[in-house]
A = this chain, B = another copy of it.
């Protein structure tokens, strides 16, 4: 009963943690050293918020696949690291966060240019974090892929994640 009530009177303005729990430099180093396969991609942390991140994957010749487009595993690796960074921006450097599942939908065939990943955390529970990642070809406003994923994380204090910037703001 009180659960229902509190849901109804829920805070209109959840306050996200104001500053990320890691710096961009710390995160870039962790990616480069902790996960060499993707670390060697040369990924740059463009911006880092609390629960949000933007990464840039420069194009490399060996990302090509038949059709002259970027190979799926490169995009998957980028998305995986982006969600990892978005989660760590909320809970700090916890190397043992591990992916438990990930779903990738390829929406367009990207040309051979840099890929931008924008990730945000949609839920940070006690043991699981869940978020989504949009991938763009640099300079193009339409996404080339959409990814969702779950990370298993060590138990930690609760963090509220605001998704209000997400709401459909009506029409018709």
Q: Which residues of A pack against B, CB within 8 Å?
A: 3-4, 7-12, 14, 19-20, 23-24, 34-38, 40, 46-50, 52-54, 61-67, 69, 71-74, 76-77, 80, 95-96, 98-113, 118-120, 122-123, 125, 127-128, 130, 132, 134, 137-143, 146, 148, 150, 160-164, 166-168, 170-172
Contact = CB atoms under 8 A, between A and B. Distances in A.
Nearest to A27: B172
**How many copies of this chain?**
4
Contact of A73 (B14, B37, B141, B142): B37
A33 to B, nearest CB: 10
Overall SS of chain A's interface: mixed
Query: Which of A61, A69, A99 counts the most B-chain CB atoms under 10 A from its CB?
Result: A99
